[in-house]
Structure 1
Amino acid sequence: MDFGEPIYGLIERRTSCRSFDGKKRDEAALDQLEDFIHGINASEGAEMRFVLLRQYYGMPERLGTYGVISGAFDYIVGVFPKEGGDPVKFGRLFEEIVLYATALGMGTCWLGGTFQRADFEARVNPGENEFIPIVSPVGIAAPRRRLVDRAFRAGAGSNRRKAFGELFFDSTADTPLSEAAAGAYLQVLKAVRLAPSASNKQPWRVLKEGENFHFYLCRNKGYGPAGFDIQKNDIGIAQCHFALTAADTGLSGRFDYLGTPPAAADWEYITTFIPKQAGG
């Protein structure tokens, strides 16, 4: 997957943008983004799909976001099955699209609750067994953030991240992983730490055991799996950052589900990154 520049730089550059320049639009970049989305839909099957909803200046009204988003014409829309879908995979793929939009010079913002679903459903027309859990505006950022944008960032603590040792662990869930012990994966884990999440809860925990990295969900109260499991979606975003940064730095491997991962009280095991062995 070619983003045209080092992925870690894109991850550092991506921020939640709620204020867009309503007078400027990059149609060529939108065409490229639409092609990228079509490629993801073609390669990932029919379990879920993504749509670039393009509106135009002559349209009588914009899509409803309760005043959270201003100046945006266009949206990335995720369509998910009402039953049986994988929110981890959804989060991983949606974040790939977000990072590609970042590479094209466009702003984005994950929205899971502050949008009027009926407005989006009327334009995307999901099937009887589908719904829209997540959307993101996409476009050229405004020169300055609005007051409501700054208030949302402050309320969510968007600039505050958990310490490295609160997210990453060494051999057991009681032993924080030091940056030195992360070895070649230090930048990979730093990329995970920069992943966006609902209300900036950062629910992922990664436990390094030997060469393997086990991913867990440390669920926050009030963020249960009813409807769409937003915190498993967040794990998918973290997994996306890990996988793309590892690949970009030559650390190949695969994600797999292990039957007997290390025990971690109050954490839900999700998956394990298993590095490819030299010569393997």
Structure 2
Amino acid sequence: MKLEFPVEKTVKLRSSIRTYEDKPLDSKLKQQIKEYIAALSNPFSVEVTLQLLETASSNEKLGTYGVIKGARDYIGATVSEADLNLEAVGYSFEKLILYLANLGIGTCWLGGTFNRNQFSNALEVKANELFPAISPIGYPLEKKRLTDTLIRKIAKSDQRKNWNELFFLKDFSVPLTQEEAKEFAFPLEMVRLGPSASNKQPWRIIKANNGFHFYEAKAPGYSDKLSLDIQRVDIGIAACHFHVAALEKELHGKFEKISDTGVKPPADNHYIFSYIMS
């Protein structure tokens, strides 16, 4: 399957942009983005709404508590109640973000550091919808603010966990090596490099019984201030990176929930879904 972007190059290129040039995106580019959004889908068969919110200038304040500067436009994600709905948001939104990174357009995942009421009103979020995340969208400003550097340092944005902390073979006590992962070493490495809230990387993946089983290593209390488990969105981001990398390498399989993985997870590790090889 031909993808709209080279996976490894784009995953490594993508970074969180918090300071933007104070100018609107080109109208043709906006139309291209809207068309890409309209064609997006996810492997969980959940309808995710990604909406472009356009403002006349960066002075039309939508609160991001000083985290974002210069952005005129934002994309917001909403979804109705459904099984794997937050994972679907993570998958679809991250695929859009990778597409934008390949075009040289800046983005930044925001799950908590924005005024949810302001954005809910601006995006006309319905009462029965969940509103997990937004991202600014625009042209990155080359000169970074000191605030940007501090946020990246606090969030440890440039650090990633090692393989033996994330990927396992048949049992959570046995780390999976790249040699044992075989052709799926590349999709797993793209998962390892993925973004996540506070860079916690809550995904744990275990290879067993002809599949890769995705678990959420839930940080106790982390999502308590939100009305949803934001780390489930992170699992969707991991699924996106895994899937687009597998598709690029022409590896075949499908995501599904199974009744028994045959694996006993540690405490606070919750089974989400599996990728079954075919």
TM-score by length of 1: 0.91
Of 241-250 and 129-138, more deviation after overlay is shown by: 129-138
What amino acid is the match of 1:37?
Answer: I
CA drift at 1:174: 0.2
Provide the residue aligned with 1:193 in structure 2: 192
Evaluate the alpha carbon distance shift between residue 100 and residue 161 of structure 1 in structure 2; reply closer, same or farther with a 3 A threshold: same
Provide the residue aligned with 2:5 in structure 1: 5
Provide the residue aligned with 2:275 in structure 1: 273
Contact 2:17 2:108 (8 Å CA) reproduced: yes
2:259 pairs with 1:259: yes
Three-state SS of the structure 2 residue aligned to 1:175 is strand
What amino acid is the match of 2:277?
Answer: P
2:90 pairs with 1:91: yes
**Distance in 2 (alpha carbons) for counterparts of 1:142 and 1:24:** 13
Three-state SS of the structure 2 residue aligned to 1:112 is coil
What amino acid is the match of 2:37?
Answer: I
Three-state SS of the structure 1 residue aligned to 2:62 is coil
Equivalent pairs counted in the alignment come to 275
CA drift at 1:29: 2.1
What amino acid is the match of 1:171?
Answer: K
2:244 pairs with 1:244: yes
Please list every run of 5 or more consecutive structure 1 residues that lacks an aligned counterpart in the other structure. none
Evaluate the alpha carbon distance shift between residue 107 and residue 126 of structure 1 in structure 2; reply closer, same or farther with a 3 A threshold: same
CA drift at 1:70: 0.6
Contact 2:55 2:73 (8 Å CA) reproduced: yes
Three-state SS of the structure 1 residue aligned to 2:35 is helix
The CA deviation string for residues 93-113 of structure 1, in whole angstroms up to 9 with x for no partner, is 111111111122101100011
Provide the residue aligned with 1:184 in structure 2: 183
CA drift at 1:245: 0.5
Provide the residue aligned with 1:233 in structure 2: 233
CA drift at 1:56: 2.3
Provide the residue aligned with 1:220 in structure 2: 219
Evaluate the alpha carbon distance shift between residue 85 and residue 249 of structure 1 in structure 2; reply closer, same or farther with a 3 A threshold: closer
Provide the residue aligned with 1:203 in structure 2: 202
Contact 1:48 1:90 (8 Å CA) reproduced: yes
Provide the residue aligned with 2:69 in structure 1: 70
Provide the residue aligned with 2:104 in structure 1: 105
The CA deviation string for residues 75-101 of structure 1, in whole angstroms up to 9 with x for no partner, is 110113368772111111111111111
CA drift at 1:3: 4.5
Of 206-215 and 171-180, more deviation after overlay is shown by: 206-215
Evaluate the alpha carbon distance shift between residue 41 and residue 204 of structure 1 in structure 2; reply closer, same or farther with a 3 A threshold: closer
- Percentage of matched positions with identical amino acids: 37
Please list every run of 5 or more consecutive structure 2 residues that lacks an aligned counterpart in the other structure. none
Provide the residue aligned with 2:170 in structure 1: 171
CA drift at 1:136: 0.2
**Distance in 1 (alpha carbons) for counterparts of 2:240 and 2:43:** 16
Show the 5 A alignment for 1:7-156: 7-23=7-23, 25-40=25-40, 47-57=47-57, 61-81=60-80, 86-156=85-155
CA drift at 1:156: 0.5
The CA deviation string for residues 190-214 of structure 1, in whole angstroms up to 9 with x for no partner, is 1000111110000100111253111
Contact 1:37 1:52 (8 Å CA) reproduced: no
CA drift at 1:6: 1.4
**Distance in 1 (alpha carbons) for counterparts of 2:214 and 2:206:** 7
